Each structure stands twice: as C-alpha cells, then as structure tokens.
Structure 1
Amino acid sequence: MRLKDPFSLKVVGMTKRTNKPRKPRDEESSDEVSGLTCQHVSKAVDLSSVKKAVTSSMWSMCSDCLRERTMIDGEPASGHDILVCLKCGFQGCSQSESQHSTKHHQTLHPESHCITVSLGTWKAWCFECNEELSTHCNKKALAQTLDFLQKHSVKAASDAFGWTGLKEEPSDYADQSRGKSPVNNCTLVLVKGINNLGNTCFFNAVMQNLSQTHMLNDLIQDVKEKGHKLKICPPGALTVTLPSPEPLTSAMFLFLHSVKESGKGPANPKILFNQLCQKAPRFKGYQQQDSQELLHYLLDSMRVEETKRIKAGILKSFNNPTEKTADDETKRQVKAYGKEGVTMNFVDRIFVGELTNTIMCEECEHISTVKEAFIDISLPVIEERVVLPKYDNCVHFATLLTEKKSDKVYTSARKQMLISSLPPVVTLHLKRFHQAGMNLRKVNRHVNFPLILDLAPFCSASCKNLVAGERVLYSLYGIVEHSGSMRGGHYTAYVKVRWPQRRTEQPNRRNMAGPREASSATQGQWVYVSDTNVHAVPESRVLNSQAYLLFYEEML
C-alpha cells in the first residue's frame, strides 16, 4: 500500500504557506518558483549530527522498520522511500503504512526536526512549510549537508557496491552468427551502479536498460575489432571486411564490458558520455536532460557510425571505385549492396521497426501510404484514463479523424498507423511532458502497463514475420522512471535480471507463446537502480513506478 509522499501530496495536518492557483493535481508547470526560502533552516539543519548518525547506521534503510521488522512488499523500506532528517540524521520511510519519517517529525520538536532530504530524488522538504526547498535560496548549511549525503551515498556504494545477478544459460545470438557452437559455460549478468557525473541520472537510467538488453550485449561483440566479416545478400552473396569501429561504438562496447566486471565498484561512464557529447553537444554542461532524447541521440549516432563502416567495407570489396573509375554495373552493384547492407547494423537489427501511415480521403476515398522507421513508439498519457491506451483509442494505432488540405480546400480524412515491421526490442515512450499554452507541464499520474504485451492487434496485415491469427508477445524487462517535477527531478531504472532467450530454429516464425510459455518467460529478479544505489525489489513495486520509458523484448 502506498500512502502519502511528502514530495507529491500534502501532509495530513499541515497547511500551505501560500495559496497558489489551482491546476491539475498531477501536473507540474515549468514556470513555478524554483524553491522556497525557509525560516526553519537555521534550527533544523545540523551537519555534524547528520555525519555522526549516518556513518554509524545502516545506509538507506528505515531505522524504525528494521527495529520493528516492518516489511513493505516483503522487504524493509529502503532506497527512494527513505527521508533523512537534517537535524539528527534519522533515516525514515515515507511510503509505508508506518510513515516513520512523518512520525519522527511529529514526535520530536517539530520546528527543529522538520527538514528532510529524499535519498531517491535528493530534494529537500520542510514539513512545517509543507514545501520543497531550494539549496540556492537558503543558508549554506543546507547545501553542505546535501553534498555530504550525496558523497556518502557514493562511498557506501563503492565500499560494498550493490550488484545483483542470476546464473544464466548461454546465449545463441552471437555464437551462431559467427559460426560457433553455443558455449556451455554459465555466465553472470550483473546489475552494477553507475557513477553520476553531474546531473547525468538521465543517462545512467537509459544505460542500465541497455546493459540488460541481451541482444545488444551479444551483437556488439561483432563490432569491437577491425576485420569483422559481414555477409550481404541479395543480389548475390558478398562477404565484406569491416574497418575498425568508430569512437562512440567502441566506447559503448567498453562500457558494457565494464558493467559485467565484478569487484570494481560502480561503473564509470565518462568515456562513453564524452563520446556522445562529441556527437550531440547539447548534452555538454551537465544540465538536466531528457532520457528519451538521450536514447534517440545515442542509438542514432551509433547507427550512423555503423552505416559508414559498412559502406566503407562494401567499397573496399570493389577496390574503392570512384565516380570516374566505376562502370555502370559496378555502380549498380555498390548501390544494391549498400541499400541492403546499411540495415544490417546492430542498432537496426535490435531496435528499429517500421510504421505504416495510411490516410484515406472520406470524399474521394483516395488512399495514400507512407512508411517510416521508428526507434520507439510515443504514447500520450490520456487525461481521462490512467491505463495504457486500448486498441480502439490508441493515438498511434487507431483510426483518427484529421484534416487534409488539397487544392486549397480542407476535407475530412481518416488516418491509421500500424506496425509493418517489428524489432526484437520495442521501446514505449509515455509522453509525460507536454505543452500547455506558454508553459511546459509534466503529467505525474500513474499509468498501468502490462508485463506481457501482445502487439498483434497493432500490426498491419502485411507485417513481416507475422502469421495471421498468432499473438505477438513481448515481455517487459526494463523501465526508466522520472520522479519529481519540471523544475527538478530524478531518473532511475528498474531492470529485470533474467536468463537470455534462445533463438528459434525458424527465424521467420515469431512467438506463438501460450499461457505456459508466457508465464515461464517472466521469471527473473527485478532490480531498482538509482545511480550507484542498487537493490532487488518485488514486482509489485515495479508496477507502481511512474514509468517514462518501457523496454519490451520479444518472447521467443
């Protein structure tokens, strides 16, 4: 049961300091004040007491829950449920039935134990003012205490860093593609914390999900070195030798490799992040950024690098012809192999699908069709509903009434968007940030999402590799969550440690999983990751998360 969270709801018995214009309860606006100047800081913040308390107690765990042996979903309150009192260093839960952080404030002198910091979002909150506080608008003691807690969190993770793993069956993705037999040795998939370089939680949350994308880990092995062989066909089989991988792709391989290493503390993403900033300068400066935009820039940049690499390999196979030296037949072959080869990069093979947009004029019934590639599918968080849109009202897949301009005359038209090609990994983006007049708002409401998603109703009749009447099941394995508001928030990740699936012997046949297969495919352990903070969580907590990105893999 999830009760009131002081960072999202009004605490019982407290009154607001100021009256603000009413707006939807679950929306935050970008034009709101950046934080409150609090009169209680001088009495309610004691850095020396906080240092003494947190260094002598279990980090990121509710002290009273441990003493009373109180459990939330079978586990003690921990992680982003914990608030630290900045007067005495008490760590108490905020979302359990016990509400120990609130009781701590009410039991002791309210005005001197009223300011807390969330270990999940690193936001300061005053119970007396019933407001979030800004470290810029208050005394230095508040910023210094927050800085100490953040450094202590990193140190605690480094000293006994959290990683979770399951004994895993061998994967067949890469071994079969390289002509090798599957290995018999079991490996261990780790969930390792990632150091925050400065407001890079948006990057860390995405990287946790990519680290748990088994197919990415397998296929990127092929691109790590110069001389990899790639077989392209049609029009006829052509084996090309690829040059060395480009900098960003190489950095991605090194990062994924470092995540698998045990015993070395949290992973350092600096090399990979710096390479990304070279491709996308907008991420320089360590400002708050958007995880969905980060995912697009990262995958697109690696896709461009691999496309360039494949084209270079094709040209080398034809002795690097130029416009002047190449005859018409050579030009035709280079173009044909290039068209086929560029889609064989690992980004396309894993993440890229195809949507078919069909528009029909209601007057003349003329039909036009346009195909477009997608890396993710954006879904609106509908005002009246708190569930993922159903088949009949989903904006991306349902039939909609639009206006079509032709010969300077507007006419009614119907638009339909269906999936015409499914990738092995489907990413759903919940559009929580939207424009409202001159302001940008965030929708904070909870959205229900399935653990097993059947995409068959959203596929076109000509969808590749889809047999009529079959279900197309995808299993959830990762989430990027955004908590907080437009003026300040925090990205975290939920990932499932699980066995990799084996490739079927019939590659053109998608899954036909029944109840038994669907149940067994969901086995694994969910893990919550907030930068360097890593711990296992029950499935119920995952389903209660405020999802922003959802990662689904096809069930084989």
Structure 2
Amino acid sequence: MVKRDTKVRLLGHGLKNKGNDCFFNSVMQCVLSVVDLTTFYSENRFNDKQVASKGFQSFIEEYKSSNPLSPESFITTLRPKIALLNGKQQDSHEFLITFIDLLFKELTNATREVINSSTEYNRIKLNNFIADTFFGLQQTTVICGTCLNKSTSPSIFSILTLPVTNDLNDSIYLYSKETLLQGQDQFKCNTCSYSKASKHSIDVLCYPKILVIHLMRFSGAFRKIDDPINIPRELTLNKEKYDVFGLTCHSGVLSSGHYVSYSKRNSVWYYFNDSSVTKIESPPLRKSDAYLVFYERR
C-alpha cells in the first residue's frame, strides 16, 4: 500500500506590493518553501494568544487559492508585534530574524536568551517546532593573552551572518577562523583582570535543519558591498549535506532598493518579483546582489 503524502506543498503564487512590502514578500516566498513549516502551521490549532501563529496559518490558506495574494491582512496582524512593519522600506534580514523569534516565543513562552547550554538547546528543540527547524548552536571561545585562561560561551542562532567573499564556503571558513581581539575590541580577563590582545573563535556545534545565511553587504547606512559570491548548490557542514532552496536578492542601496527572490517548490524553481512569478530552470548562483541564502538539510 502506497503511503499518501500529507505534506502541504505550495505552488508558486505572487504577493502584491502595496508600496514598500518587497522585503516582506521576498522573505515569505522562501519561508513558504519550507514544507515542514507550511505543514505544521496548516495542521495545528493555535489559541487566541498566539496571534502571529494564527495569522500565519490564515496567510498560508489564502496563499493556496490566491494568485497574486495581498499580504496586507497578515502584515496588519503582525504589526503590533513587529515594529518595523511600519509601511517603510526595511531590511529583510531584520524582519526574518524578528519573525522567527516571534513564532518561537508563541510556541514556548520563552526567549532565546534562556538557551545557554547544549542540554537546554536539545531540550527546547524537542518541545518547540521553530527551535527544532531554525535554531543552531554555536560556541564562542576567548583565550586570554596574559594568563591563557580559556572562557567559552554557547549561544543559539537562527540566521548565520557571514562576510561577503568570492565563495560561500570561504565565508563559512572565515566565520570560524581564529582572530585576535585587540585595541578597542580588547578582552578583559575575568581570571587575571588584565586587558590584552586575546584569541577569539566561534565554532558552530550544531547547524539547524533550515540554515539561513545573511551576507553582510551593508556597511553603515550608505555603503553597500556589491561583490559577486558563488553560492554552492550543496554544502557539507559537520558531515551533513545541505541543499540550496532559496535566495533573496537586493538591488539599490539600503535606504532605497528592491528585493526579489528565487525559491524551489516541488522540484521547480521560481523567480518571485512581488506579483510577478516566473518558472525558471535554475537560479543564477553567482550573484552580486544575493542577501539571504536558504539551505535545507537532507
């Protein structure tokens, strides 16, 4: 007997832009490609206090049958919870990280700051769908340059912010590369109380099922890094394979620009530009405007 697929897999539909909604639309088109996410929010029931979760559920249902769909009702629902939804142009990275945190809090009544150990990280993943899907665990290590005392501090992340290099693999390498804290960044040791140049490194202990990478293209309000970067179709991270399934791209400057996205649905790639949706063979994977990159663990 063939087991019936009950997953909620969405087709590629457009999202209307009332004025400055492209940052929202581009992120949502990638988020809606996460089949486990659309399935979870379609099949579960949420109480009246879980305003964003109920709104997201309704948004998914409307998305199934409307093409293009106006996201205004969902944005209005989120606005009291997400201050940057104020009708102005916003940063898609800031919106996504806030949206993920909001969904997480509604499912668990906690904030990510309480997750300060690998034990707590594993516990929260068992009890919170958003944490299990989007949260990874990293550890920061600082070695004092005077007494060589080593201090470590674990933290969770939902989006990995990386420098722009020629290749995304190089960006990942640089993120974990040991650096020297000196000058204004000098570290004061809790053991010897001296401030001296210290060694600093970050190790990603556990990558999430859905890995979102944010490329640091903006330096201040007006300077943008437009260097192209190679985006691999697959990554190997801690011996796990990841496949790319979404990109958001930004043209222009931070204060005045436009977001579009590429996303994979049911093995078909789509190019999303607000209301306009185009099926494509494959997205361009050397991009000077790639801003958020979405990978899924096999």
Same topology, TM > 0.5: yes
Q: Name the structure 1 match of 2:76.
A: 274
Alignment of 1:386 onto 2:166: yes
Q: Cα gap change, 1:184/1:373 in structure 2, threshold over 3 Å: closer, same or farther?
A: closer
Alignment of 1:196 onto 2:25: no
- Judge which range, 524-533 or 202-211, deviates more: 524-533
Matched residues in 2 for 1:363 and 1:408: separation?
A: 9
Q: Is residue 401–residue 413 contact of structure 1 (8 Å, CA) maintained in 2?
A: yes
- The residue type paired with residue 484 of structure 1 is G
Q: Name the structure 1 match of 2:116.
A: none
Bigger strand share: 2
Structure 1, residues 113-140: CA drift from partner, whole Å, max 9, x if none?
xxxxxxxxxxxxxxxxxxxxxxxxxxxx
Q: 421, 426, 443: which one pairs with 2:206?
A: 421
Q: Name the structure 2 match of 1:495.
A: 263
Matched residues in 1 for 2:150 and 2:7: separation?
A: 53
Q: Which has the higher contact order (CA 8 A, sep 6+)?
A: 2
Matched residues in 2 for 1:287 and 1:370: separation?
A: 37
Q: Name the structure 1 match of 2:127.
A: 344
**Residue 293 of structure 1: SS of its match in structure 2?**
helix
Matched residues in 1 for 2:71 and 2:270: separation?
A: 20
Matched residues in 1 for 2:171 and 2:147: separation?
A: 27
Q: Is residue 391–residue 398 contact of structure 1 (8 Å, CA) maintained in 2?
A: no
Query: By how many angstroms is 1:389 displaced?
Result: 5.3
**Residue 229 of structure 2: SS of its match in structure 1?**
coil
Alignment of 1:297-446 (within 5 A): 297-308=98-109, 340=123, 344-381=127-164, 385-388=165-168, 390=170, 394=174, 396-402=175-181, 403-406=186-189, 409-435=194-220, 440-446=222-228
Q: 229, 233, 252: which one pairs with 1:447?
A: 229
Q: Cα gap change, 1:446/1:421 in structure 2, threshold over 3 Å: closer, same or farther?
A: same
Q: 206, 211, 228: which one pairs with 2:32?
A: 211
Q: Cα gap change, 1:302/1:294 in structure 2, threshold over 3 Å: closer, same or farther?
A: same
Q: Is residue 220–residue 346 contact of structure 1 (8 Å, CA) maintained in 2?
A: no
Structure 1, residues 506-529: CA drift from partner, whole Å, max 9, x if none?
xxxxxxxxxxxxxxxxxx322100
Number of aligned positions between the proteins: 281
Matched residues in 2 for 1:184 and 1:379: separation?
A: 36
Q: Is residue 142–residue 199 contact of structure 2 (8 Å, CA) maintained in 1?
A: yes
- The residue type paired with residue 474 of structure 1 is Y
Q: Is residue 146–residue 194 contact of structure 2 (8 Å, CA) maintained in 1?
A: no
Query: By how many angstroms is 1:417 displaced?
Result: 0.7
Matched residues in 1 for 2:215 and 2:151: separation?
A: 28
Matched residues in 2 for 1:379 and 1:354: separation?
A: 16
Q: Name the structure 1 match of 2:268.
A: 525
Alignment of 1:475-514 (within 5 A): 475-498=243-266
Q: Cα gap change, 1:420/1:443 in structure 2, threshold over 3 Å: closer, same or farther?
A: same
Q: Cα gap change, 1:440/1:484 in structure 2, threshold over 3 Å: closer, same or farther?
A: closer
Larger radius of gyration: 1
Query: By how many angstroms is 1:259 displaced?
Result: 2.0
Matched residues in 1 for 2:172 and 2:53: separation?
A: 40
- The residue type paired with residue 475 of structure 1 is D
Q: Name the structure 1 match of 2:115.
A: none
Matched residues in 2 for 1:388 and 1:295: separation?
A: 20
Query: By how many angstroms is 1:276 displaced?
Result: 1.6
Identity of aligned residues (%): 27
Matched residues in 1 for 2:125 and 2:168: separation?
A: 34
Structure 2: where are the runs of 5+ without partners? Answer: 111-119
Query: By how many angstroms is 1:255 displaced?
Result: 1.0
Matched residues in 2 for 1:496 and 1:182: separation?
A: 24
Query: By how many angstroms is 1:245 displaced?
Result: 5.9
**Residue 279 of structure 1: SS of its match in structure 2?**
coil
Query: By how many angstroms is 1:551 displaced?
Result: 0.5
Q: Cα gap change, 1:251/1:185 in structure 2, threshold over 3 Å: closer, same or farther?
A: closer
Q: Is residue 55–residue 77 contact of structure 2 (8 Å, CA) maintained in 1?
A: yes
The TM-score with structure 1 as length reference comes to: 0.47
Structure 1, residues 336-375: CA drift from partner, whole Å, max 9, x if none?
x9x9468622211110111111111233221111011101
Matched residues in 1 for 2:138 and 2:9: separation?
A: 36
Structure 1: where are the runs of 5+ without partners? Answer: 1-180, 226-242, 310-336, 457-470, 499-523
Q: 90, 110, 114: which one pairs with 1:289?
A: 90
**Residue 183 of structure 1: SS of its match in structure 2?**
coil
Q: Name the structure 1 match of 2:291.
A: 548
Matched residues in 2 for 1:431 and 1:391: separation?
A: 10
Q: Is residue 63–residue 69 contact of structure 2 (8 Å, CA) maintained in 1?
A: yes
- The residue type paired with residue 452 of structure 1 is E
Q: Is residue 363–residue 411 contact of structure 1 (8 Å, CA) maintained in 2?
A: yes
Q: Is residue 269–residue 283 contact of structure 2 (8 Å, CA) maintained in 1?
A: no
Matched residues in 1 for 2:3 and 2:286: separation?
A: 35
The TM-score with structure 2 as length reference comes to: 0.85
CA RMSD in angstroms comes to 2.6
Alignment of 1:80-229 (within 5 A): 182-184=3-5, 189-225=10-46
Q: Cα gap change, 1:196/1:217 in structure 2, threshold over 3 Å: closer, same or farther?
A: same
Matched residues in 1 for 2:285 and 2:68: separation?
A: 23
